[in-house]
Structure 1
């Protein structure tokens, strides 16, 4: 049974608030190498996916709810930063914050809908579970490109391994059968290359 509209709206807002606050706390207090996951935009995309997965059906509800959640998460992150370590409140409405909110809308729509696809039939049940794996693999690809760069030390190797492992785990959890998992993982690889290209075009290095 899919959740009603009111719980979906409430979960989107409260979930987004918690995502932003907990993400900042994670970065600040969780030790290396797992603490670096707090800087992962792919993790936020995966959160949007599993929101859509929870919504079950109704791609519009999933897209809007996931987008709202990611947009709310951005100022929530900076509110936590201001309260916990005294950052400037003006960051909440600075251009980088607005840009992250824009990216949140795009990621929320795509991955929110992808979450509903994972419960669908035919091509949807392959493409849907492939999406969270693909975005984590793509971010892992960014980290692989940094291996050997003295500016990053050993961070890229561990960050890549963690993201690839989480990508496989996300596909496994979002799929219902081993056959579906195998096809979704195979689909995630070319999608990851497209995602890596999108990251690079978006200015991620």
Structure 2
């Protein structure tokens, strides 16, 4: 089994759509609650790593990997990724509302829910591409985009917040994930080549949007 396959359960054999939907949504709900809990356990600025859009997007990517060889076309992985991301948002903010002191304004829950409906399908498809794409460039783009998410967070920690240790961790993940999940050295190298510009583009777009909303 390759490293990429190991991030998705090899026992997933659900063939009916309702069962698969419940599984993806449930995994997202549990993941959202856990990231909320871990955020409270990590010290200082390190708690930001639990509340990470890149970490959340790994759930959508894993859902796409899980469904890569079990459905035809892109609709299955896209739906799986979307459900996982929506579950994460609902689980995270649901626990914040009922398990902590309240989630506060609806602005950020609604913003993250909107982003989940975009990032979930995209990275669900990316996960599927990383496993079954017949065109090699799709695998490079999929793995590079995943690395680019962590790279963009690293840039945010470094340039926006001044948290150098957290930036180094994200940079290591940005480089390490394409190396770990790639199947050949050519694939790893080209995926890294995609991850570098993807990091800067995602940083400009994503954090520009967040700054506009929060401002």
Question: Is 2:89 aligned against 1:74?
Answer: yes
- 2:25/2:86 contact within 8 Å kept: no
Alignment: residue pair count: 195
1:62-141 matches, cutoff 5 A: 62-87=77-102, 94-119=106-131, 120-121=133-134, 122-141=136-155
* Structure 2: 5+ residue stretches without partners: 1-9
Runs of 4+ in 1 over 2 A off after TM superposition: 1-8, 30-36, 82-86
Q: Which residue of 1 aligns with 2:193?
A: 186
Give the whole-Å Cα distance in 1 for the aligned partners of 2:143 and 2:113. 24
Contact 1:33 1:158 in 2 (8 A): no
Q: CA RMSD in A?
A: 2.3
Q: Answer yes or no: is the 8 Å Cα contact 1:140–1:161 preserved in 2.
A: yes
Gaps of 5+ in 1: 149-155
Q: Where does 1:1-205 land on structure 2 (aligned, <5 Å)?
A: 3=13, 4-6=15-17, 7-32=19-44, 34-57=46-69, 58-87=73-102, 94-119=106-131, 120-121=133-134, 122-146=136-160, 156-204=163-211
**C-alpha distance in 2, partners of 1:31/1:177?**
38
Residues 24-76 of structure 1: CA deviation (Å, up to 9, x unaligned): 00101133554321121111122211221221143211111111111122121
How far apart, in 2, do the equivalents of 1:54 and 1:194 lie? 28
Distance (whole Å) between structure 2 residues aligned to residue 86 and residue 200 of structure 1? 27
Structure 2 match to 1:152: none
